[in-house]
A = this chain, B = another copy of it.
Amino acid sequence: MNKKCIGSIVLISVFSLQLFAQKEKREQVKSSQTAYEKYIDANNDAHLKEFIELVSIPSISSIPANKPDVDKAAAWIVHKLKAIGITTAQTIPTEGNPVVYGCWDKAPGKPTILIYAHYDVQPVKEPEWTIPPFSPKISDGKIFGRGASDDKSGVLITIWAVETMLRTAGKLPVNVKFIFDGEEEKGSPSFKGFLDKNKDLLKADFALNADGSQYSETTPSILMSLRGAAILEFTIQTANTDAHSGQFGGKTPNAAVALSQVIASFYTKDGNVAVEGFYDKVVPASLQEKEMIKKLPYDASRDMKVLGTTAETGDTIFSPLERIWYRPTLEIIGMQSGYTAAEGHANIIPGNAMARITCRLVNNQSGKEIIDLIVKHINKNLPVGARVTYKFSNGYTRPMKFPADTKAYHYVSDALFTIYGTQPLQTGHGGSIGPLIDINETLGIYAYSLGLQLADERKHAANEFFRLSSMRKGQLLYCYYLQHVADEESKLKNK
Contact with B along A109-125 (1 / 0, CB 8 A): 00000000000001101
Known: A244-B431, A247-B459, A340-B354. 8 other contacts (CB 8 A): A62-B344, A186-B345, A229-B347, A250-B430, A261-B267, A333-B347, A335-B338, A338-B356
Q: Which of A407-443 contact B (CB under 8 A)?
A: 429-432
Tell me whether A80 is interfacial, beta carbon within 8 Å: no
B308 touches A351 (CB 8 A): yes
Tell me whether A484 is interfacial, beta carbon within 8 Å: no
Q: Which of A306-337 contact B (CB under 8 A)?
A: 307-314, 320, 323-324, 327, 329, 331-337
> In the complex, how many angstroms separate the beta carbon of A208 from the nearest chain B beta carbon?
20
- Measured CA separation A432–B431 after assembly (Å): 50
A residues bordering B, Cβ < 8 Å?
A: 60, 62-65, 122-123, 125, 128, 185-186, 226-227, 229, 231, 233, 238-254, 256-257, 259-261, 263-267, 303, 307-314, 320, 323-324, 327, 329, 331-341, 343-351, 353-356, 358, 360, 384-385, 387, 429-432, 455, 458-463
A254 touches B331 (CB 8 A): yes
> In the complex, how many angstroms separate the beta carbon of A409 from the nearest chain B beta carbon?
22
29 A–B pairs (Cβ distance < 8 Å), ordered by A: A62-B343, A62-B344, A123-B339, A123-B343, A125-B242, A229-B347, A233-B345, A238-B309, A242-B462, A243-B461, A246-B429, A247-B430, A250-B320, A250-B329, A252-B307, A253-B311, A254-B332, A256-B333, A260-B261, A260-B335, A308-B351, A312-B385, A332-B350, A333-B348, A334-B346, A335-B337, A335-B350, A340-B356, A347-B460
- Given A245-B333, A309-B238: A356 and B345 interface contact (C-beta under 8 Å): yes
- Measured CA separation A18–B229 after assembly (Å): 74
A335 touches B356 (CB 8 A): no
Nearest-neighbor residue (CB-CB) of A328 within chain B: B250
- Measured CA separation A332–B256 after assembly (Å): 6
Nearest-neighbor residue (CB-CB) of A338 within chain B: B334
Which of A251, A356, A462 has the most chain B CB within a 10 Å cutoff?
A251
- Given A245-B358, A252-B313: A307 and B240 interface contact (C-beta under 8 Å): yes
A331 touches B343 (CB 8 A): no
Nearest-neighbor residue (CB-CB) of A256 within chain B: B332
B247, B264, B313, B344: which contacts A429 (Cβ < 8 A)? B247
B461 touches A122 (CB 8 A): no
> In the complex, how many angstroms separate the beta carbon of A201 from the nearest chain B beta carbon?
30
B267, B335, B460: which contacts A335 (Cβ < 8 A)? B335
B331 touches A349 (CB 8 A): yes
Nearest-neighbor residue (CB-CB) of A326 within chain B: B250
- Given A260-B259, A355-B256, A431-B244: A345 and B337 interface contact (C-beta under 8 Å): no
B335, B432, B458: which contacts A241 (Cβ < 8 A)? B458
- Given A248-B324, A335-B337, A340-B356: A347 and B122 interface contact (C-beta under 8 Å): yes
A346 touches B122 (CB 8 A): yes
Q: Which residues of B contact A333 (CB under 8 A)?
A: 245, 256, 338-339, 345-350
Q: Which residues of B contact A348 (CB under 8 A)?
A: 333, 460-461
Which of A229, A332, A458 has the most chain B CB within a 10 Å cutoff?
A332
B253 touches A264 (CB 8 A): no
A249 touches B461 (CB 8 A): no
B240, B303, B356: which contacts A248 (Cβ < 8 A)? B303
B263 touches A65 (CB 8 A): no
- Measured CA separation A241–B463 after assembly (Å): 9
Q: Which residues of B contact A324 (CB under 8 A)?
A: 247-251
- Measured CA separation A314–B385 after assembly (Å): 11
A343 touches B64 (CB 8 A): yes
A461 touches B344 (CB 8 A): no
- Measured CA separation A360–B252 after assembly (Å): 13
Q: Which residues of B contact A246 (CB under 8 A)?
A: 226-227, 229, 360, 429-432
